[in-house]
């Protein structure tokens, strides 16, 4: 199989005393799409947010275990979280463009990295928007507010914005759950194209979406990793009864 990009070892997470993730271990391959599925509150989003240390922002969270990205433990004391997050981009459930122009949204990341030369920024903006398959729709209104776009367009702006800082991994937290079917299809199409260059990890409620977009699927339930395997195996011949019950809609 492919190279392992992310290796998680015995990861547990507590909110106060409440154990939200229990000893999760998994390997996530490079330049593939890995989907996390499971019922609400199963820990899949929490787990996703441990991979770019977004949970650091929440008070009262304690994390045990290790997460290796390219063989470096991101929970090591001397890890620079800012650099980690440049390498591991994130797309949120609710599209969250800044109240700025399309151009300034995309240029935000490069600018905080100290790029100020206009020609360089222009190039990054165009390239990122093309990668996110939204260039043709916004090229004539780069300086209009990103908030004037439709929900689906906003989400692709957010994807372009995260591509502009050259990440290696992109975390997507239910990126299409607030979108209509046509916008959802566009996002899924985009995921197919992006996996040629990026390692993509997607949390989704929608099992068809997991089946359509991912190479691997992991099922979470009550903070446990129930089963992880190639997507076609999970959906056709799961090893555990619980997985079969979930994907056939008997619980969740």
Partner 1 sequence: MNRNIKDTIVEGITGVSVLLIIFIIVSILAVTIVGGWPNLNWAFLSEFPKDGMTKGGIFPAIVGTAVMTIIMAVAAVPFGVITAIYLAEYANEKSIIARTIRFAVKTLAVVPSIIFGLFGLGFFIGFIGKNMDGLLNGGELRWGQPNILWASFTMALLTLPVVIVSVEEAIRTIPREMREASLALGATKWQTIRKVVLPGSVSGILTGTILAVSRGAGEVAPILFTGAAYFLSDLPHSLSDQFMSLGYHIYIMSTQSSNVDATLPIQFATTLVLLLLTFSLNAIAVILRYRIRKKAK
**Which spans of this chain sit near partner 1 (rule: CB under 8 A)?**
52, 54, 57, 59, 82-83, 85-86, 89-90, 92, 94, 96-99, 108-109, 112-113, 158, 161-162, 165
Q: How far is the CB of 42 from partner 1 (least distance, A)?
A: 21
Q: How far is the CB of 88 from partner 1 (least distance, A)?
A: 8
Cβ closest to partner 1, residue 106 vs residue 207:
106
Cβ closest to partner 1, residue 73 vs residue 166:
166
Strand segments, DSSP code E, in the chain are 4-15, 18-29, 33-37, 61-69, 72-73, 88-91, 169-173, 199-203, 216-221, 224-230
Q: How far is the CB of 9 from partner 1 (least distance, A)?
A: 24
Cα 235 to the center of its chain, rounded Å? 21
Comparing CA positions, the residue from 216, 158, 217, 201 lying closest to residue 183 is 158
Cβ closest to partner 1, residue 161 vs residue 226:
161
Q: How far is the CB of 164 from partner 1 (least distance, A)?
A: 8
Comparing CA positions, the residue from 212, 210, 222, 216 lying closest to residue 247 is 210
Cβ closest to partner 1, residue 97 vs residue 223:
97
Burial group, residue 205, by CB count within 10 angstroms (0-12, 13-18, 19+): middle
Question: Nearest 5°: phi and psi at 128?
Answer: -65, -40
Cβ closest to partner 1, residue 22 vs residue 100:
100
Q: How far is the CB of 112 from partner 1 (least distance, A)?
A: 5
> What SS3 state is found at 197?
coil
Comparing CA positions, the residue from 115, 48, 222, 20 lying closest to residue 106 is 115
């Amino acid at each position: 199989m492919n190279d392992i990009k992310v290796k998680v070892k015995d990861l547990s997470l507590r909110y106060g005393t409440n154990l939200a993730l229990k000893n999760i271990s998994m390997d996530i391959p490079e330049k593939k799409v890995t989907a996390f599925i499971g019922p609400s509150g199963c820990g899949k989003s929490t787990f996703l947010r441990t991979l770019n240390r977004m949970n650091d922002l929440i008070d009262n969270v304690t994390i045990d275990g290790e997460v290796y990205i390219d063989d470096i433990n991101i929970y090591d004391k001397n890890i620079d979280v800012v650099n980690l997050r440049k390498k591991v981009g994130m797309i949120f459930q609710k599209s969250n463009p800044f109240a700025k122009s399309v151009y300034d949204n995309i240029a935000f990341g490069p600018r905080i990295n100290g790029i100020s030369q206009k020609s360089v920024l222009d190039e990054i903006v165009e390239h990122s928007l093309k990668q996110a398959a939204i260039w043709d729709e916004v090229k004539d209104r780069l300086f209009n507010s990103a908030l004037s776009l439709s929900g689906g367009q906003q989400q692709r702006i957010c994807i372009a914005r995260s591509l502009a800082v050259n990440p290696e991994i992109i975390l997507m937290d239910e990126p299409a759950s607030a979108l209509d079917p046509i916008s959802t299809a566009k996002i899924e199409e985009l995921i197919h194209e992006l996996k040629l260059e990026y390692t993509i990890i997607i949390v989704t409620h929608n099992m068809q979406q997991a089946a359509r977009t991912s190479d691997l699927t992991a099922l979470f339930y009550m903070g446990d990793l129930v089963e992880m395997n190639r997507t076609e195996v999970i959906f056709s011949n799961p090893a555990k009864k619980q997985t079969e019950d979930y994907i056939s809609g008997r619980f969740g």
